Structure 1
Amino acid sequence: MSSPVRNLWSTTRDRVRSQLWPLPVAAVIIAAVVGVLLPHLDATVDASVPSWLGGILFGGDADAARSVLGAVSSSLITVTSLTFSLTVVTLQLASSQFSPRLLRTFTSDIFVQATLGLFLATFTFSLTVLRSVRNGSDGQIAFVPRISVTTSFVLAVGSVIGLVVFLAHLARQIRVETMLRDVHRDATATVDAVLDFLNRRELRSDIPAIPDRAEPVLADTSGFVTGLDHDAILSAAVDADAVVIIQTHPGSSVVQGTPLGRAWSPDGVLGASAWDRLQERVAHCVSLGYERTAAQDVGYGLRQLTDVANKALSPGINDPTTAVHALAHISALLCELGDRDLGPVVLRDPEGKVRAVLQQPDLAELVDSALTQPRRYGAGDPAVMSRLFDLLGELAWRFPTSQHPVVSSQLSRLRATVDAQNFDTVQMHQLEAKAALVEDLLANPTKKKDYPN
């Protein structure tokens, strides 16, 4: 799949799946269509229905059919209202107790969307079928769509079962362990999708230095970078005979009129009209939104996990156990990132000339963004400090030797934070012992087998 199509698909898919309404609305439309067509099928096949099937289908008269359909439709709209209320309460709890950025993860839950869709579809179908029931008054021919009424009954029973399962699912989803698992899973999926795609490009190969004559490429609007159209950027650079370096990456924020990157002509000549076209085309290749999304942002999952840890360490929540659990997921995700190539992406024209360079957040930046705030807000809790030392040990174990300076820098900062606290002697000795293990592992990578699991 080409880059433009892939970028459009990933961005659109993420936008749609994070909304509660698309699947329920689609279910309502389908139910309305089926509610119109199925009574016609009833009228066509009613006389030829086998006796054994006729005993299963609805057998009442028109008044009974209206009562059943009315009861189903009225009860389902009540159940749907209750479900929406429970969903809103859950969203409020997730936002206030854990992090506002977890709302996207919850609203992306296909089970919640499907349950709402089932309830609304049952209501719509029953109400639509009700229109076709006739009791023979006013010269009309009596008609009871037995298959349709039976279908409505089956949907109602399915909705009752769905409500019970939904409540059980909701009780499980509001647990912080489940939310952390879902965030970690989504973040891993983003890392796999984005970096597997990027690693098919050339990474860290002959990155040109930015000359003094380079001109800034300015953003045409403000927001968060949600995606980059690689092939379109390369095409714009080739057409203008220029080199473009995009210094922002998905997840970073930009302000209208500030630089997205730099561009210049290799031969030093780039006319005003050519520059204007290049500026416009490159700006349009950078997708901006009002919030970060997981479509191409490899650091978004880390941001969510870090926010949960920060919220748990706030005085109003004071839940260090949740922070420790979040740090465990952060460690696992950072270890996965340590196995990947996070270098800049170099795009070349058919002749092999470098035409575009797309910066990515490096491992040091991701580690720092994930650990700085929990280290600061959890400085007074020995359990949090202990888990941070364990996390650095896990990174030292998994990171290649070339990335050990990243861990060493974080270890020095963590030690300084611990030294500034008023822990008792036993706690200080325990933390120093953990720090010494990490330091020994960094100094002697061959001793990994001696590091406690």
Structure 2
Amino acid sequence: MSTHPPTTPAPAPTMRPQVDRVRRRLRLIFEPFWVVPAVWSASAVSLGLALPQLDAAIGSPLLFQGSADSARSVLSTTSGAMISVTGLVFSITIVVLQLASSQFSPRVIATFLEDRVTQHTLGVFVASFLFSLTVLRSIPDAGGMDDAVPELAVTLSFLLVLGAVAMFLAFIQHITQSIAVSTVIRRVGAQTRDLLVRSKERRATLPSAVPELPDLKGQTVAVARRSGYIDAINSGLLRNCALERGTRVEVLYPLGSFVAEGAALAMVHGPSADSDWDELVASAVALRAERSMEQDMTFGFRRLVDIAERALSPGVNDPTTAVQAIDELHDILRRMVGDPSVVGVHLDHDGAPRVLTQEWTFGQYLDLAVDEIAHWGKTSLQIPRRLQEMLTDLAVAAHDEHKPVVLAKSHEIGG
């Protein structure tokens, strides 16, 4: 009789790893700050080259009624004004990043760089400048009444200016709201909750206890090919590789851990002398120079704790901000405390363990959320009281296996 726990057969185990890999690559492509402005810029140059030809092909739409000199003046003024305001928008963005880094934490800068309003605002301004400049080159230098005027293109340039003004007003309002401490904390909390929902879907496939692990002869150490933080683990890809080779892969570090180049990253159990496991593990375990919220939920906790610690520093002395960070942590922990623990054993479609990952326990999340804030806020009137309120509520909502951990933490803070 099989000793493995009953599992639902996994349909087509090769599809999900490919989907995850494509999704991660698309995220890495579209995540950088410059991507949205670059798309706007490329579109503007393309339109600037195409619309004058379209004017000549279909005849004048009579949108802009003026001579070539007038069109040249409008486009010159538009391009000069747009590049000046673009510099202003960029300067405001840099100032906001500096304020966020000094007031909150350097680790929250990513939330501002990922902000689509800022990216689209810069994109519209740069697009207006490039479009006007591109259309300007299609107007002959020698002015004359018979010179062809790209009326549709000049009209679109005017509309882009109107859109840029509207985006600038929206940007000013948005940026003043985004640097508010409550907005920053709420945004980090929302990102962490979204990741928690996604992680629950993944954790639902994991068992609550370690099944029997067959003794596979032979061991191979897969080392890290570069230094970085473990940002994501494609367990499906590792599972398929282990299934094809009759092995079991054990990732030695949890998400968010730093691994130095050449250090052991995974242990492969079973015959694998003919496999380049360093390359296989590197393709499934993403190491990045900076942590992100791809899969690493502890990074959300880390940012909230950093905000609270910065607020409790003697130079800032703002315990109310620290309490707001605790409120977000409270909400996240309460969503977690009612779920039973799982172990990082990923089974194949036959129920055999193929991949072992290091999963964070609720007690570790609780330590991360409470210990440092309690240490730096122990002399405050608000912090110990708020932490005790949070722990009392968590104890009421906790799953039976988590209650001792929560009560022990409450006694530790109270003592």
* TM-score, length basis structure 2: 0.90
Whether 1:145 and 2:150 are equivalent positions in the alignment is yes
Q: Distance in 1 between matches of 2:215 and 2:76?
A: 71
Q: Distance in 2 between matches of 1:156 and 1:174?
A: 27
Higher helix share: 1
Structure 1 residue 334, shift from structure 2 partner: 1.2
Q: Which of these two proteins has the greater Rg computed from alpha carbons?
A: 1
1:189 paired residue number: 194
Q: Distance in 2 between matches of 1:342 and 1:288?
A: 26
1:431 paired residue number: none
Q: Distance in 2 between matches of 1:315 and 1:10?
A: 43
Contact residue 121 and residue 168 of structure 2 kept, 8 A: yes
**SS at the partner of 1:401?**
coil
Indicate the larger mover: 388-397 or 85-94.
Answer: 388-397
For structure 2, list consecutive stretches of 5 or more residues without a partner in the other structure: 1-13
Q: Which amino acid counterpart does residue 32 of structure 1 have in structure 2?
A: V
Q: Which residue among 99, 116, 127 is the counterpart of 1:93? A: 99
Check 1:145–1:153 CA distance in 2 against 1; reply closer, same or farther (3 A cut).
same
Q: Distance in 2 between matches of 1:342 and 1:183?
A: 24
Whether 1:76 and 2:82 are equivalent positions in the alignment is yes
Whether 1:37 and 2:37 are equivalent positions in the alignment is no
Check 1:211–1:398 CA distance in 2 against 1; reply closer, same or farther (3 A cut).
farther
Structure 1 residue 321, shift from structure 2 partner: 0.8
- For each residue in 1:238-283, what CA deviation from the matched residue of structure 2 results, as whole angstroms up to 9, or x when unmatched? 2332222223222111123333343323xxxx36x24x53454234
Structure 1 residue 102, shift from structure 2 partner: 0.4
Contact residue 335 and residue 398 of structure 1 kept, 8 A: yes
1:442 paired residue number: none
1:25 paired residue number: 38
Q: Distance in 1 between matches of 2:380 and 2:191?
A: 29
Q: Which residue among 248, 252, 261 is the counterpart of 1:256? A: 261
Q: Distance in 2 between matches of 1:68 and 1:263?
A: 67
Structure 1 residue 395, shift from structure 2 partner: 1.5
Q: Distance in 2 between matches of 1:298 and 1:413?
A: 25
2:401 paired residue number: 402
Q: Which amino acid counterpart does residue 167 of structure 2 have in structure 1?
A: G
Structure 1 residue 162, shift from structure 2 partner: 1.1
Q: Distance in 2 between matches of 1:58 and 1:242?
A: 71
Q: Distance in 1 between matches of 2:215 and 2:38?
A: 50
Runs of at least 4 residues of structure 1 off by over 6 A?
209-213
**SS at the partner of 1:19?**
coil
Q: Distance in 1 between matches of 2:300 and 2:338?
A: 17
Q: Which amino acid counterpart does residue 357 of structure 2 have in structure 1?
A: L
For structure 1, list consecutive stretches of 5 or more residues without a partner in the other structure: 417-453
2:291 paired residue number: 292
- For each residue in 1:122-142, what CA deviation from the matched residue of structure 2 results, as whole angstroms up to 9, or x when unmatched? 11111111111236559x950
Whether 1:311 and 2:310 are equivalent positions in the alignment is yes
1:429 paired residue number: none
Q: Distance in 1 between matches of 2:30 and 2:279?
A: 30
Q: Distance in 2 between matches of 1:235 and 1:123?
A: 50
User: In angstroms, what is the RMSD of aligned CA positions?
Assistant: 2.4
Q: Which has the higher contact order (CA 8 A, sep 6+)?
A: 2
1:367-382 map, 5 Å? 367-382=366-381
**SS at the partner of 2:265?**
strand
Contact residue 343 and residue 359 of structure 1 kept, 8 A: no
2:237 paired residue number: 232
1:323-402 map, 5 Å? 323-340=322-339, 343-402=342-401
Indicate the larger mover: 313-322 or 281-290.
Answer: 281-290
1:118 paired residue number: 124
Structure 1 residue 107, shift from structure 2 partner: 0.7
Q: Which residue among 10, 14, 17 is the counterpart of 1:4? A: 17
**SS at the partner of 2:126?**
helix
Q: Distance in 2 between matches of 1:207 and 1:145?
A: 75
Indicate the larger mover: 185-194 or 339-348.
Answer: 339-348
Contact residue 236 and residue 278 of structure 1 kept, 8 A: no
Indicate the larger mover: 7-16 or 397-406.
Answer: 7-16
Structure 1 residue 343, shift from structure 2 partner: 1.9
Q: Which amino acid counterpart does residue 396 of structure 1 have in structure 2?
A: A
Check 1:209–1:414 CA distance in 2 against 1; reply closer, same or farther (3 A cut).
farther
Indicate the larger mover: 237-246 or 36-45.
Answer: 237-246
Q: Which residue among 172, 179, 204 is the counterpart of 2:177? A: 172
Indicate the larger mover: 323-332 or 295-304.
Answer: 295-304
Q: Distance in 2 between matches of 1:2 and 1:370?
A: 36
Q: Percent identity?
A: 32
Check 1:341–1:85 CA distance in 2 against 1; reply closer, same or farther (3 A cut).
farther
- For each residue in 1:212-245, what CA deviation from the matched residue of structure 2 results, as whole angstroms up to 9, or x when unmatched? 9755443232210011121221123223322222
Q: Which amino acid counterpart does residue 145 of structure 1 have in structure 2?
A: P
Structure 1 residue 385, shift from structure 2 partner: 0.9
**SS at the partner of 2:40?**
helix
Check 1:327–1:18 CA distance in 2 against 1; reply closer, same or farther (3 A cut).
farther
Q: Distance in 1 between matches of 2:297 and 2:170?
A: 33
Q: Distance in 2 between matches of 1:145 and 1:280?
A: 55
Check 1:340–1:10 CA distance in 2 against 1; reply closer, same or farther (3 A cut).
farther
Q: Distance in 2 between matches of 1:375 and 1:247?
A: 30
- For each residue in 1:352-405, what CA deviation from the matched residue of structure 2 results, as whole angstroms up to 9, or x when unmatched? 322222221111111111111101111110101111111112212322122111
**SS at the partner of 2:401?**
helix
Contact residue 302 and residue 333 of structure 1 kept, 8 A: no
